[in-house]
Amino acid sequence: MSEKSVFETVTGELDFPSEEAKIAAFWKANDIFARTLSADSRATGPSKGPFVFYEGPPTANGMPHNGHALTRSIKDVVPRYKTMCGYDVPRKAGWDTHGLPVEVEVEKDLGIHGKAEIEAYGIKPFVQKCIESVFRYTEAWERNTELIGYWLDTENAYVTYHQSYIESVWWALSELHKKGLLYRGHKVCWWWPQGGTALSAAEVGWNYKSVEDPSAFVAFELEGEPGTHLCVWTTTPWTLPSNGYAAVRGGLDYVVCDWKDGKKLIVAAALREGLAKKLGLELTVLVSLKGRDLVGRRYVPCMDTFGALRDAKADLKEGGAAPLYWRVLDADFVTLDAGTGIVHIAPAFGEDDNNAHKLELRRYREPDEVPLLCAVGPDGKMTAEAGAFEGLWIKDADPKILADLDARGLLVFSEKYRHDYPYCWRADEDPLMQLARPAWYIRTTDRIGDAIANNQAVTWLPEHIKDGRFGDFLRNNVDWALSRERYWGTPLNVWVCEGCGAEHAPASVAEIEQRNPHAFDAFRAARAADPSLNEHLIVHKPWIDEVTLPCEACQGTMRRVTEVIDCWFDSGCMPFAQLGFPHKEGSQAEFSQRWPADFISEAIDQTRGWFYSLLMISTLVFDEATCERLGLGKRSYPHPYKACVVLGHVGDREGKKESKSKGNYTPPDIILERVRIEFAPVSPDDPAVQKLLRGKPVEAGAVYAAREDYEGLDLTGDEAHVMMYRGDRHDDARPMTLKALKGLPRRVLVMAPEDAASLSVKPNAQGLAVKVVDVPRLPQNERVFVEDPTRPAPGADAFRWFFYASSPPWTNTRHSLSNVRLLQKDFLIKLRNVYSFFVIYANIDGFDPAKVTANPMAQRSILDRWIASEVALTVREVKKHLDGFGIYEASQRIVDVVDALSNWYVRRSRSRFWAPAGDATLAADKLDATTTLYESLVTLSKLIAPFVPFFAEGLYQNLVRRAWPDAPQSVHLVAYPDADESLIDESLAAEMRAVRELVSLGLQVRSDNRLRVRQPLGRADVVVSDRALAASLASYGPLIAEELNVHEVRWLEPGQEAGAVHYRLKPNFRALGPRIGKKVQALKQALERADAARLHAELSREGKVVVDVEGEGIDLSGEELDIAVVASEGFAAAGGRTGVVVLHTELTPELRDEGLARDVLAKVQQKRKDLGLAFTDKLALTIYGSERIMRVVEAARSTIAEEALCASLVVAPLTDAPATAAIFAIEAEELALDGTKA
RNA sequence: GGGCCAGUAGCUCAGUUGGUUAGAGCGCACGCCUGAUAAGCGUGAGGUCGGCAGUUCAAAUCUGCCCUGGCCCA
């Protein structure tokens, strides 16, 4: 049969990771990725030009996790697809290297914290440490990149701390400065007074405490209306000296009420009663008014702190002047939840307060001239402005201020109030305070209309981001607080003259040197003395702080402001900074080509991060005039990205956020490499463990882990056989039995002392208290791996596929080993089985696609044409979806076609593949089948290449490259398949769908009636609802007959089968609803009662029927009625949408004999298997049996001999059987088999 | 407290221009098949579509309120 094997046998073993490793090595050795970047080295035809993708830089300071696996899977599939479609898709890697997290890590390493300690340590060595620590996880990242098959140009990665990158960022800032969009203001942040540093939002969240603070109601007397007071509420009396405004909400109702001694109070109407109760007063309402009636009114400050400013005014933009402070404002953050509906505003404290103040400032011509009211120092003590309170710690000032107000009759009421308040997470006793710090801003609100217009042009996936989360953020935009009072970041490139205050924002080192040729002498000298000094530090603190410039206006000295900038600004500059634009030679042409991006994608948390910084910077920097000036031509929105796929988060199997400290995450390696988890061994003698064991002994060879860890390894049942080894002794693995113990924390393992001894590990001293995060950092002899050796890890393709096929990428994903395996089975393993099936038979027949030619498709069998059509349809659909970034939808189509291939095409075609070689007709048909399957698999290998690049490559190498060694070297170098429209046959597809449903119905009938498929039946009657379809299905009779194992299929009309089937008529609601409205329900009832057969006959005769509904005749066309056939009760029948299948169930002796023959054949096949025969081995067989067996076997002799590849077949009475032969019973008959390899 | 997203079978998820038998896979039960074989396949049970109201001839789908979870913001 076989001359030689063209294809390499597909191994039975499912070890995807090791196969993937081989593919990865192949790519590396042959430089495949680099070759996909240019049309010259691809086989995809002439270049279609660039398809621009931007890599959002991950921070190199942390480890890659499952969320990154998601983003990287998505970010990889699109460029791979576009590359195969003929586009050039450069993918420059990038690293986000600045920011507080880096500083915090270094602080941890150095065992210091706080700015004071950093400065004591020295900023130079500190920054040096920062730059060194940035890439501490590079190895892990590169490994992740390679393992997951994320193709990225890592060699030429952009790095945000590089000089060229920083100079690009400087250029952008310099542009903004020239446009007047950069200004100095104040930013309210959470401030740690004792430490003298601001805390990030995340840090603030780490330590909220429930505390008691004063709750005070204070009277602000209205100007020009002595005795009438606004009643305001505050829990921070220490901010009252810095009061600037009172805020109401314009739309709310307020009342003026009688307070005491003829004085009046104004409060929100809804809160009057509550206040009256507190005060024990009536607070009789005198006048009602709206909040907006109060807006603009001035009041007397309750403290005289900034008395000098009482009458100060500032010029308004629209002319005239307005007093600065102590006015009533309208603010929408005013609520009726607590207080009085009138809010005390201290612009220096509280973000709402400061924003309200900033809104006021916008009215002035010179907003920067307006001083900020602040009577508290950064040390948390009252300043000289606070007069008598000077030097008091804020909390100590509270009671004194209240007493002062009380003495002056301005304290309406005070009490204690319990609420949550943030404390410093490093110094538990220190409360934080909100404090306005001097800060640099970008005036984004000035150009917010442009940003909104830009956003409107972006294609967002999912769509709701555009007007939802992102649109909202833009609509509520506040100016971008750019500066950070830190050390490790891009230095803000603004130099200010000591003399005249002039500002200059140079765009590069060269520009600085032009003004001051000696600017960098100090750094260069330092570097000459110490060559280990990183060259890029030339543009960093503290060296850059030493650079001065001469002032062009007054010849004074200009010094740089001390701040660094928000690292979101760094990453937002990436479209041009990655190219060193505009400074770098040639960057202009390159940028022009690579801007804007066609596609970016990151997780949803980037909405206010990278998505925002990209869009905002691009909007501000690249306005029309600037584009023109830079020679970029006219560019319309959107930029810098046209489409953005917003990804969801990856959660654990319960949908909870994966967290390292909780340990509820699936380590990526468990998917990508080996099914194992690291544990800390603990002793069963630990009292805490004893409690959980409840007297259960821990025997040698048995270990206990948390149920979550047990399930995390995808183990089922009560116990599992696993291998265990010490962290550094993989070769010394011991078999153990793992059990789950309820209540055990994650990542600890209870083991008997003798097991611990045999593994040379020692129980953890902390016992159950050991922290999950610390387990991987324990000494080697305190760590053990538990590995499930029975099933290899699913691998990278499976991991990737999980993200594509489990749900649309913007929904949150529940991730676990078992979920990944589930989807893998559904697609990769199924496809691999088909592939393996193909290789087995192709090799048996010596099939070589390069040397033989099958019939043209039009002449091949219906199954061949069908699957070819399905594949072509799939190609068409997949491309359509991918063009719109519909990755999930595309993957579903792929799953469907693989199912069609495996579950129908191969299943229905199996016998064709083992047709004997002698028969010319059958041989030709076999060649058709083999070729069709081959072509399908080759197309699929290309179709799935962007999704599962490793497996696709394996397919391609074996199927294509072995037959055509000159073919393009990799599947990733070839063109993405085009749907061959000539192969698409939509009606064939519909027919086959119907056939599959009819078969399903037939099998349902067999199942319902306990008629096994092996027992042939005489006849199946099929009634199809749709007449047109019925006619075209006739030719599928033999196929259905074979699948249902019946002798004959008859296509019937209802009525022909003695009541087994009848019609049911229903209104077509979609069609009739609009026409007859309410009456459809009555019509439905009428149709149920009517004689369906008569109506149906009338409809086919006349083309319409008239039905009487509530005394009114309604004309109905065929279109307006749904006609279904249904199976009647009491028949061996089943019905669905397509039609009804009725089986004739009576068994004649002949049919019984046929069934018996099939049973015998099954036993023979089992015998072949028992003998270990290969698919092509011949069998010498003797069948011993009863008289009936002998008769039946004789009758089926040729079938049995052929099906079971018998070289000889002897039939003999059972009495002749050798004594050793096993006797089988089928029904009442007995037989024995004797066979050997022929 | 606000915004956005989600809630559909035991589990993981599809499904909306509103249209009358709400789908798939896994798991489970029963069974088939035995030349893809430590594979393959079928059938079935299982759903008040988170709850309550409303709009409509008709609601998983539209509207309002509420509950639960996630994310972002405060």
Judge whether residue A1012 contacts strand B, using its CB and a 7 Å cut-off: yes
Token pair belonging to A1187: 């008289």
Q: Report the pLDDT value the prediction gives residue A1013, as an integer from 0 to 100.
A: 82
CA of A334 to C1' of B1 (A): 12
How do residues A756-785 score in pLDDT, each as one tens digit? 999 999 998 888 888 887 888 889 889 999
Residue whose pair of structure tokens reads 């959470």 in the numeric block? A190
In terms of phi and psi (left: phi > 0; alpha: psi -120 to 50; beta: otherwise), the region of A566 is beta
- A140: phi then psi, degrees, rounded to nearest 5: -60, -40
DSSP secondary structure, A1180-1216, as one string: EEEEEE-HHHHHHHHHTHHHHHHHTTEEEEEEEEGGG
B4 C1': nearest CA residue: A469
User: In chain A, which residues from 624 to 683 place their CB closer than 7 Å to nucleic acid strand B?
Assistant: 649, 651, 653-657
In whole angstroms, give the CA distance from residue A1195 to residue A403: 114
Q: Report the pLDDT value the prediction gives residue A328, as an integer from 0 to 100.
A: 84
Instruction: Tell me the C-alpha to C-alpha distance, in Å, between residue A835 and each of A11, A12, A801, A866, A898.
Output: 11, 12, 18, 19, 11
CA of A932 to C1' of B39 (A): 23
Nearest CA to A346 among A236, A220, A230, A480?
A: A236
Q: Averaged over A1100-1108, what is the pLDDT?
A: 81
Judge whether residue A1007 contacts strand B, using its CB and a 7 Å cut-off: yes
Nearest nucleotide by C1' position to the A1203 CA atom: B35
Handedness of CA A457, A461, A465, A470 (dihedral sign): negative
- A846: phi then psi, degrees, rounded to nearest 5: 65, 30
For A1206-1238, b/e burial (b = at least 16 CB within 10 A) is beebebeebeebeeeeeebebeebbbbbbbeee
CA of A473 to C1' of B71 (A): 15
In whole angstroms, give the CA distance from residue A1180 to residue A743: 62
Nearest nucleotide by C1' position to the A819 CA atom: B12
Judge whether residue A1008 contacts strand B, using its CB and a 7 Å cut-off: yes
Sequence-separated (6 or more) residues with CB below 8 Å from residue A254:
A248, A266, A267, A268, A269, A288, A289, A290, A291, A293, A294, A341, A342
DSSP letter at A866? H
- 3-class SS at A626? helix
Q: Report the pLDDT value the prediction gives residue A170, as an integer from 0 to 100.
A: 97
Instruction: Tell me the C-alpha to C-alpha distance, in Å, between residue A1036 and each of A936, A988, A1017, A1033.
Output: 22, 11, 18, 6
Nearest CA to A1159 among A1126, A1200, A1131?
A: A1200
CA of A654 to C1' of B24 (A): 21
Judge whether residue A791 contacts strand B, using its CB and a 7 Å cut-off: no
Cα first-last separation, chain A: 16
CA of A807 to C1' of B41 (A): 27
Q: How far is CA A247 from the centre of its chain?
A: 42
Residue A515's Cβ-count burial label (10 Å; 0-12, 13-18, 19+) is middle
Asked if A433 and A191 touch (Cβ cutoff 8 Å), the reply is yes
In whole angstroms, give the CA distance from residue A175 to residue A48: 34
Token pair belonging to A611: 């998505």
- A299: phi then psi, degrees, rounded to nearest 5: -135, 170
Nearest CA to A303 among A408, A459, A192, A224?
A: A408
Judge whether residue A1162 contacts strand B, using its CB and a 7 Å cut-off: yes
Judge whether residue A1004 contacts strand B, using its CB and a 7 Å cut-off: yes
| Cross-strand partners of A723 | A735, A787
CA of A810 to C1' of B49 (A): 22
How do residues A377-414 score in pLDDT, each as one tens digit? 777 778 877 777 787 887 788 888 888 888 887 777 88
Judge whether residue A501 contacts strand B, using its CB and a 7 Å cut-off: no
Q: Report the pLDDT value the prediction gives residue A1058, as an integer from 0 to 100.
A: 60
Convert A660-686 into a string of H (helix), E (strand) and C (coil): CCCCCCCCHHHHHCCCEEEEEEECCCC
CA of A988 to C1' of B30 (A): 34
Residue A3's Cβ-count burial label (10 Å; 0-12, 13-18, 19+) is exposed
User: In chain A, which residues from 865 to 884 place their CB closer than 7 Å to nucleic acid strand B?
Assistant: none
Token pair belonging to A696: 């259960």
- Residue A212 pLDDT > 90: no
Q: How far is CA A410 from the centre of its chain?
A: 56
Residue whose pair of structure tokens reads 């005239």 in the numeric block? A320
A75-89, A502-516, A596-610, A1006-1020: segment of lowest average pLDDT: A1006-1020
How do residues A523-543 score in pLDDT, each as one tens digit? 999 999 999 899 999 999 999
pLDDT class of A1 with cuts at 50, 70, 90: very low
Judge whether residue A892 contacts strand B, using its CB and a 7 Å cut-off: yes
User: In chain A, which residues from 303 to 342 place their CB closer than 7 Å to nucleic acid strand B?
Assistant: 335, 337
How do residues A70-96 score in pLDDT, each as one tens digit? 899 999 999 999 999 999 999 999 999
- A804: phi then psi, degrees, rounded to nearest 5: -80, -40
- Residue A3 pLDDT > 60: no
Q: Averaged over A477-493, what is the pLDDT?
A: 89
pLDDT class of A25 with cuts at 50, 70, 90: very high
DSSP letter at A61? T
Q: Report the pLDDT value the prediction gives residue A453, as an integer from 0 to 100.
A: 93
User: In chain A, which residues from 576 to 605 place their CB closer than 7 Å to nucleic acid strand B?
Assistant: 604-605
Residue A111's Cβ-count burial label (10 Å; 0-12, 13-18, 19+) is exposed
How do residues A547-560 score in pLDDT, each as one tens digit? 999 998 898 999 99
DSSP letter at A1052? E
Judge whether residue A828 contacts strand B, using its CB and a 7 Å cut-off: no
Establish whether the linkage from the previous residue to A681 is cis, with ω within 30° of 0.
no
Judge whether residue A1205 contacts strand B, using its CB and a 7 Å cut-off: yes
- A882: phi then psi, degrees, rounded to nearest 5: -65, -35
User: In chain A, which residues from 1095 to 1124 place their CB closer than 7 Å to nucleic acid strand B?
Assistant: 1124
In whole angstroms, give the CA distance from residue A615 to residue A731: 53
In whole angstroms, give the CA distance from residue A947 to residue A981: 24
In whole angstroms, give the CA distance from residue A242 to residue A353: 11
Residue A115's Cβ-count burial label (10 Å; 0-12, 13-18, 19+) is middle
- Residue A336 pLDDT > 70: no
- List the beta strands (DSSP E) in A522-637: 548-550, 557-560, 564-565, 600-603
How do residues A921-979 score in pLDDT, each as one tens digit? 888 999 999 999 999 999 999 999 999 999 999 999 999 999 999 999 999 999 999 99
Q: Report the pLDDT value the prediction gives residue A1126, as an integer from 0 to 100.
A: 76
Judge whether residue A1161 contacts strand B, using its CB and a 7 Å cut-off: yes
Nucleotides on strand B lying under 7 Å from protein C-beta:
1, 3-6, 12-15, 19-21, 25-26, 30-44, 57-58, 69-74
CA of A251 to C1' of B67 (A): 30
Judge whether residue A837 contacts strand B, using its CB and a 7 Å cut-off: yes
Angle at alpha carbon of residue A137, lines to A156 and A729, rounded to 5°: 130
In whole angstroms, give the CA distance from residue A942 to residue A872: 12
Asked if A690 and A699 touch (Cβ cutoff 8 Å), the reply is no
Sequence-separated (6 or more) residues with CB below 8 Å from residue A226:
none
In whole angstroms, give the CA distance from residue A906 to residue A964: 25
Nearest nucleotide by C1' position to the A1079 CA atom: B57
Token pair belonging to A1209: 């077949």
Residue A682's Cβ-count burial label (10 Å; 0-12, 13-18, 19+) is buried
User: Which residues of A are known catalytic residues?
Assistant: 57, 96, 568, 606, 610, 657, 660
Amino acid at A99: G
Token pair belonging to A352: 């709402």
Indicate the length of chain A as a whole number.
1238
Token pair belonging to A1131: 């028949």
In whole angstroms, give the CA distance from residue A525 to residue A542: 15
Give the whole-number percent of chain A exceeding pLDDT 90: 33
DSSP secondary structure, A1154-1168, as one string: HHHHHHHHHHHHHHH
User: In chain A, which residues from 722 to 741 place their CB closer than 7 Å to nucleic acid strand B?
Assistant: none
Judge whether residue A811 contacts strand B, using its CB and a 7 Å cut-off: yes
Asked if A435 and A236 touch (Cβ cutoff 8 Å), the reply is no
DSSP secondary structure, A357-405, as one string: HHHHHTTBSSGGGSPP---B-TTSBB-GGGGGGTT-BHHHHHHHHHHHH
Q: Report the pLDDT value the prediction gives residue A693, as an integer from 0 to 100.
A: 85
Q: Averaged over A609-635, what is the pLDDT?
A: 92
DSSP letter at A96? B
**Model ipTM?**
0.90
DSSP letter at A957? I
Please give the mean pLDDT across all residues of chain A: 86
User: In chain A, which residues from 165 to 224 place their CB closer than 7 Å to nucleic acid strand B?
Assistant: 201
CA of A680 to C1' of B15 (A): 46
Amino acid at A230: L
Token pair belonging to A515: 């003004």
Instruction: Tell me the C-alpha to C-alpha distance, in Å, between residue A1123 and each of A996, A1063, A1095, A1120.
Output: 21, 7, 10, 10
For A568-580, b/e burial (b = at least 16 CB within 10 A) is bbbbbbbbbbbbb
CA of A957 to C1' of B37 (A): 26
Q: Averaged over A209-229, what is the pLDDT?
A: 79
User: In chain A, which residues from 1036 to 1065 place their CB closer than 7 Å to nucleic acid strand B?
Assistant: none
Q: Report the pLDDT value the prediction gives residue A257, as an integer from 0 to 100.
A: 84
Q: Report the pLDDT value the prediction gives residue A1054, as an integer from 0 to 100.
A: 63
CA of A469 to C1' of B52 (A): 29
Sequence-separated (6 or more) residues with CB below 8 Å from residue A1027:
A1100
